[in-house]
Structure 1
Amino acid sequence: MIRNGKDIPNGSVVSTEVCIIGSGPAGITAAYCLQKAGRKVTLIEGSRDYNNNRDASWPDKVLLYNGLADGLFATNEPDFLILPYVNHTSPAWERERIFGGTSTHWGGQSRPLDPITFEKRPGFPGWPIKRADLDPYYAQAAALCKLHGDDFSADSWAATLRAEAPHLAGFDTEMYQFIGGNYLNFATRTFDGQTIGQSPVDVILNASLLDIDHGNGVVSGLRVASMDDATPPQKATEFTVKADVYVLACGAVANARQLLLSNAGNEHDQVGRYFMCHPLATGQVVTITKPYLTNAESRLMGGQMANGRPWTDSNGVKVTGRFSPSAEQQRNHAIGSCWFWSGGGGYYFEMAPNPDSRVRLADTLDPVFGQRQTHITWELSPRDEATYNQSTQLFKTAVNQRKGDVAFASWQSVKSQLVDNGHHIGTTRMSADPTQGVVDANLKVHSLDNLYIAGSSVFAAAGISNPTFTIITLSIRLAEHLNHALGS
């Protein structure tokens, strides 16, 4: 069921068992799993009903997502909050204010996080869970996303493609599956034959969260407002949502802002800190000057069959490969992970957690609800430069051992062209110690008994895999936990 928040009268109270705030992959996955378990779920989404038309939603995004973006953003992406990729000719990719969230534009590239991502190592705090704790849920996520099984190994895919898995000293050959187009948009795809809007979930569009009311360690309700149909819009109605449990699933930037606006979960000044992404250098950073792969190896990395055509299955799944430094190399050199495309090109790496890279509240107010806007600072650290310098040298050595050669751009050249690749990570990170993070291993806010957070804002380290597949995995795990916690 889908309804419009402006049709809910002023002062009304919406009562439910679980309230989920946000309709991206994190929120919709949790909502689907909980309603399937028989729970009464209300999902609220701030955007007005644009019938999957992202272009029409952008003026609202400018009004409500704007603010100040500084640090590396100031030179590389000053319009990050609203219009990403300066001088980029494609549509906005970073953040969406529309039913379905960023699932309305993502490419579906999927792979579990590597086990080392969860480890404590120099510059990386470690997670309070291990990769093995997520493996059963990764399998469920693969089924939910209609992937071609849950085996991402290079040898397995080499057998499928009748290709060969390249072995590069000190590097892992990592395979990524791409979800088929019919299953990318979580607002319009079907679950058990129906969309989330056709399911028993009470989906309320045009329902912007204003405040999380809390005290004595519990959330007592949410203040929610709708917008009218004017251009530009203004506040229309205000109502309250009361639930047994609340799940904040608005993305790493908005999750932090909502907690800061409500002064919730920030007893140790951790909310908003450790903003990470996968910085992407889009220019020619890595140049293969002498080939080093056989044709059969190149086909595997490109996801091609023996006839040279891209492999795909009946659900539209495709596959490609990347080279990443092994866990041993990351430990030995105290660096993060990265990607190397087999044919060279750009550079894409795991940013190290940095407390000065963060989300705060700006002094300016949004023109619709009069709330403080976002102030986001993107700051790299010396460890990020070390990751680039060490990983490129390791890659060159490995390629040379195969009688090939490779050349690289300088770090300063790379840094000047870095953009956020749309993967917003950290800001409410998972930790066993409340002084070092915002949520516990079950994604519950440390200081609030009935508020949970979903999405990549809870990641304690970014890893190198695209985050959405793990976001979906964590939401499946969260739904299971909440179903047990709520009891019969």
Structure 2
Amino acid sequence: MLRNGKDIADGAVIATQVCIVGSGPAGITAAWLLQKAGVKVTLIEGGPDSPGGALDPTWPAKSLLYAGKADGQFAETEPDFLIRPYNRAGGPWERERMFGGTSAHWGGQSRPLDPIDFEARPGFPGWPIDRAELEPYYAKAAQLCLLHGDDFSPQTWAAILDAEVPELTGFDTTIYQYLGKNYLNFATRTFDGVTIGDSDADVIVNATLLEIDQDQGSVRGLKVASMDGASPPRKATEFTIKADMVVLACGAVENARQLLLSDVGNDHDQVGRYFMCHPLSNGQVIGVGGSYLTDPQTRLMGGQALVGNRPVAWQDENGVRVSGRFSPTADEQKRLGIGNCWFWANYGQYYFEMAPNPDSRVTLADTVDPVFGQRQTHITWLLSDRDEATYNQTTQLFKTAVGELGADVYCQSWASVKEGLTVNGHHIGTTRMSADPTQGVVDANLKVHGLDNLYVAGSSVFASTGISNPTFTIITLSIRLAEHLMGRMGSP
């Protein structure tokens, strides 16, 4: 059921078993599975119910409610990071305030995180779970996303495409699957033939979380408000949601802000810290002179099969496509003390794993929004010496490996690359998972340390970024969270 918050009476109280705040892939995945199991679920979204037009229709509200201050690396490259609108013609974009969240613009690129991503190593804290713990959930995520199975090995895909796996010294060949276009937007796609808005979940759009009311280690209720249709918008109604369990699924920036606004889960000053991303260079900064791959190897990296004698982009009946990347092996990452990165076979942008930095963070700004009077966001994005080492070491490793195959690699300096880096839409960290409450915000089950019924979903819980796009792991963790909540409530 889909309804609008402004139609809910002022002062009303809504009782539910689970309330999920945020309707991106994290929130909708958990909501779908919970309602399917017979759990009473309320899913709230601050934005409207559908995107449309050339620009994000939430722009008037988002420019007011998501505004704030973005500094550090943002000052040079993305000063409007917090409120960048959605542009259907193709980027730039960052955050969404609409039903479906960032699934409205993601490209569907999917691959699990690597085992090393969960391990503690110099500069990277490790997770309180390992890759093996997530294996069955990755399989379920692949099924939910209608991928072409859950096998991402290059050898399997070389056989499917009748191609060959390249061999670069010090590098793994990694394969990514892309969701079919009909399944990208989680608000409009169907699950078992039904959209989330037509399911048994109570979906309320135009419902902005104002306050998390907690007492003695438990969330007692959520204060929620709607907006009217005026320009600029004003508060219309205010109501309360009382739930046995609450899940924040608003993205890494807003998850942290909501906890800070209510002074929840921050006993050890960890909320908002370790804001990370996958920094992406502005255009081509790496060039390759000469050929270093055979035609069958090139086809694997481009996700192409032969039709007659002609290479053609492969896709299956659900529209799934594939492509390949080169990434340093786990052994090389450990040996060099660096993060991971991508190298495209025939394209020179650079994309890498940012190291956790406690001073790269979300805090509250001194300014307040003009609709609800809440403090706005102050976000500081800071890179570190380890990020510089990652760039220098991985490009040298790539240069050496490609040189062995008879080609040359040319790279811009780190200083030149750094000044053009953008976040690239992947917002990670700020409520990271940890076994020790002094080192993070949520535990291995995504429950906020010190509270018995508040959980956080999404990539804000990642302890490190890895190099894979985060959404597939976000969906995976939400499946795991939904099953955990079912267990707590005695659902099958």
Query: What TM-score, normalized by structure 1, do the two folds share?
Result: 0.98
Tell me the amino acid that sits aligned with residue 249 of structure 1: A
In structure 2, what is the Cα distance between the partners aligned to 1:101 and 1:76? 23
Which of 472, 475, 486 is 1:472 aligned to?
A: 475
Which of 388, 399, 402 is 1:399 aligned to?
A: 402
In structure 1, what is the Cα distance between the partners aligned to 2:426 and 2:10? 37
Does 1:342 pair with 2:345? yes
SS at match of 2:445: coil
Q: Taking structure 1 as reference, are residues 377 and 51 closer, same or farther at Cα in structure 2, changes over 3 Å only? A: closer
Which of 332, 354, 360 is 1:351 aligned to?
A: 354
Equivalent residues in 2 for 1:128-207 (5 A)? 128-207=128-207
In structure 1, what is the Cα distance between the partners aligned to 2:300 and 2:408? 20
Could you tell me which runs of 5 or more consecutive residues in structure 2 were left unpaired when the two chains were aligned. none
How much has 1:405 moved relative to structure 2?
Answer: 1.5
Correspondence for 1:265: 265
Q: Taking structure 1 as reference, are residues 168 and 91 closer, same or farther at Cα in structure 2, changes over 3 Å only? A: closer
In structure 2, what is the Cα distance between the partners aligned to 1:88 and 1:31? 27
SS at match of 1:461: coil
Which of 438, 455, 460 is 1:457 aligned to?
A: 460
Q: 1:288-347 CA distances to partner (integer Å, 9 max, x unpaired)?
A: 112110011001000011221100000000000000000000000000000000113110
In structure 1, what is the Cα distance between the partners aligned to 2:89 and 2:380? 24
SS at match of 1:70: strand
Moved more, 92-101 or 349-358: 92-101
Does 1:418 pair with 2:451? no
Correspondence for 1:46: 46
In structure 1, what is the Cα distance between the partners aligned to 2:92 and 2:412? 28
In structure 1, what is the Cα distance between the partners aligned to 2:210 and 2:92? 25
In structure 2, what is the Cα distance between the partners aligned to 1:318 and 1:282? 25
In structure 2, what is the Cα distance between the partners aligned to 1:127 and 1:314? 36
How much has 1:284 moved relative to structure 2?
Answer: 1.6
Q: Taking structure 1 as reference, are residues 94 and 431 closer, same or farther at Cα in structure 2, changes over 3 Å only? A: same
In structure 2, what is the Cα distance between the partners aligned to 1:273 and 1:78? 20
Equivalent residues in 2 for 1:66-85 (5 A)? 66-83=67-84
Correspondence for 1:289: 289
Q: 1:256-314 CA distances to partner (integer Å, 9 max, x unpaired)?
A: 00000000000000000000000000322110112110011001000011221100000
How much has 1:447 moved relative to structure 2?
Answer: 1.2
In structure 2, what is the Cα distance between the partners aligned to 1:108 and 1:75? 29
Give the conservation status (yes or no) of the 8 Å contact 2:85–2:96.
Answer: no
Tell me the amino acid that sits aligned with residue 374 of structure 2: Q
Q: Taking structure 1 as reference, are residues 296 and 438 closer, same or farther at Cα in structure 2, changes over 3 Å only? A: same
Q: 1:16-52 CA distances to partner (integer Å, 9 max, x unpaired)?
A: 0000000000000000011111100000000133455
Moved more, 55-64 or 289-298: 55-64
SS at match of 1:182: helix
Q: Taking structure 1 as reference, are residues 209 and 284 closer, same or farther at Cα in structure 2, changes over 3 Å only? A: same
How much has 1:92 moved relative to structure 2?
Answer: 4.7
Could you tell me which runs of 5 or more consecutive residues in structure 1 were left unpaired when the two chains were aligned. none
Correspondence for 2:66: 65
How much has 1:384 moved relative to structure 2?
Answer: 0.1
In structure 2, what is the Cα distance between the partners aligned to 1:181 and 1:229? 32
Moved more, 296-305 or 55-64: 55-64
In structure 2, what is the Cα distance between the partners aligned to 1:284 and 1:320? 19
Tell me the amino acid that sits aligned with residue 172 of structure 2: D
In structure 2, what is the Cα distance between the partners aligned to 1:59 and 1:296? 50
In structure 2, what is the Cα distance between the partners aligned to 1:233 and 1:387? 45
In structure 2, what is the Cα distance between the partners aligned to 1:478 and 1:374? 27
In structure 1, what is the Cα distance between the partners aligned to 2:208 and 2:85? 23
Query: What TM-score, normalized by structure 2, do the two folds share?
Result: 0.97
Tell me the amino acid that sits aligned with residue 184 of structure 2: L
Give the conservation status (yes or no) of the 8 Å contact 1:285–1:344.
Answer: no
Give the conservation status (yes or no) of the 8 Å contact 2:45–2:204.
Answer: yes
In structure 2, what is the Cα distance between the partners aligned to 1:347 and 1:333? 18
SS at match of 2:283: strand
